[in-house]
Structure 1
Amino acid sequence: MEHLAKVELTSLPLPALRELFGQLGLPKFRAEQVFRWLHIRMVREWDLMTDLPKSLRERLAESAPLAKLNVVKSPISKIDGSQKLVLSCHDDQIIESVVMPMPGGWTTECISSQVGCPMGCDFCATARIPTRRNLSAGEIVEQIAVACRLRYSGGLARGGVSGGEKGPLSARPQNIVFMGMGEPLANFNAVVDAISILCDPKGYGFSPRRITVSTVGLARRVPDLIAHHPNIHLAWSLTATTDEVRERLMPVNRGVPIAKMLEALEGLPASSHRKITFEYALLKGVNDGDDDARRLAKMAKAVGAHVNAIPFNVWPGAPYERPSRNRVRKFARLVEHLGASISLRESKGQDIGAACGQLAGEEGQSLPAPAS
């Protein structure tokens, strides 16, 4: 089992774990037992996996240590109750995840896919982080495990999850959005495997329709993602309606102009379960004009997308401002008048640096709340 030290078992979807155990000469049902311990009971110590033979537990403990994310800080917003999880990886890199209470008693967790982000979007604090690497599938999934453990220990368990499981999984968030640190499609394989683990009925048991993957516009990877997981939701971080402005805000547009991403979205196979959203960060005097609203409405209608308009969330040193509330409302009304579906989304956790565009791998730095 020596080569197991090179394999992160928490990163393996169940079919891959079965195959690995078969190669090791172990019964494949042992893989299902381990998978349940890792992704239902969320245990990270071999000694506690009591339905495995003691000899096997000892061999696994020696050859396959189970890494986990450590909670550095977990501030809670005084405005809306969102909780930012500042997490330390095995190499001391810091990532962040946000657990957000939603209307109707639902909970959404925003998770990261990379340390930092290589996309360089000018309005995003994450782009300022110099250290960058991909997260493993196990590190991506572990963000949900951390949230489940914290919520369960805090008395936030609920019924109706994975056959009535009473452990940490009973405190599982209802929705997962890949909108934290990093570009998910730049870490393609790990994100695909993480979704497979999250949607496995023998594990977390998420419906694909409860998972949204956001991208700045890596168009060539969009069909590949949908081929693996056809019923997840897609979000495109658009934020500008002309190539000239978008290239200034988002360098990815130099290689993938707006028309190319629209073509990729239009070419996806039809699905009654999949939603497409345009994430549009409103920046004062940059992309919030009436002409922008007209172009945005036209693009959204072309692919049947819903627009999430997000007034810019400030962060220390940001070169942009959020528009006035009056300007934001006028923009949204015009988009809606032109026949497109739009929502104004006030990001959660703004007072703890947990809002959209604010995640910067810092230990809970407080940022000012939005002006009235």
Structure 2
Amino acid sequence: MEELAAGDPRAAGPFRLVGRLGGGGMGRVFLGRSPGGRPVAVKTIRPELAGDPAFRRRFAQEVRAARRVNGFYTAQVVGADPDADPPWMATAYIEGPSLHEAIEAHGPLQQAGLRILGAGLAEGLAAIHRAGLVHRDLKPGNVIIAADGPRLIDFGIARALDATTSTVVIGTPGFMSPEQARGRDIGAAGDVFSLGAVLAYAASGTGPFGTGRPDAVVYRIVHEEPDLAALRHLPSDLTALVAACLDKDQAARPAPGTVIARLAAPAVPPGARSHGLAVGDHGLIPADRRIRDDRRLVLDFLNGEITYAEQPWIFDDDVLLFAVLRLMERDRGWLRGQRATAAWPEERTGQVFGLLDVPGPWSAGRVPEPEGP
């Protein structure tokens, strides 16, 4: 969070603004406090949109619809004023990183976490669709990984933006549906397509239609089949479900309820581990900072951000070796998931996981700590 800048509003309705959280196509997002002290996320509208009466009317309609959304996996709308200057909408503040930030920091998900993520997002979409809304911009940046499961944010505004000038880009290349890319009407099936793209990204670290110039990515979405080779480490039922979500034919895509049924975890007693499909229970973001640091070191090496040749001082005490060995003891599932995925260059995975075959005292089950501070 950043401090408020000169010219930033200090309040939105009853909510006191205390810092900047970010920005986007609609405007700025601030951290606010309710009169009772509860945190909220307040989105204020850009001036060029606020000056459009048609946008204000549409925004008011979408806010009314968004208020009807109820579900475990969405951020509840707690206040709005389409007539204010600037117009604003406040939702419950969900603490946690975005899915994009989590994958960048901790690597692609293993199978258990992917199933929980998909079931939670599908349940969130179902709640949004029951309220008569379509999200229209489901992407890793609009998924928050909270302690009790994934949450969808920024629903209920895309259709209002769509009613403005053509300079406003609705949707995100790489995660929009073919019909959205063609500028056609978008229904619930469009959100399911985006869900498939998000799951492919979460399982591999890259989208199913590659990267590059936005127009090139959009062309592939409309005319080419998704590249799911990076998902070959997953069970066939998961890969088949992602492929079905990414079908070009809207009618062939599964409904959110079908996705939930195919992904939902088995029932567990209340209070037990994994109750409520908590992503955190499956180690997406471990509480132990040492594990997070070890993951980061391994991922930096796999990504080519550090090398033996360029920064040999990092490895004077076999730091990478010790990180891998500690993960083998404390976070074996995550390490196994990274070893199986196709997200990383083969030569680097060979170097990292080849370290596991190095003989030493750890072969008897004891993982040593590196010497020094």
Larger Rg: 2
Normalising by structure 2, what TM-score? 0.28
Normalising by structure 1, what TM-score? 0.28
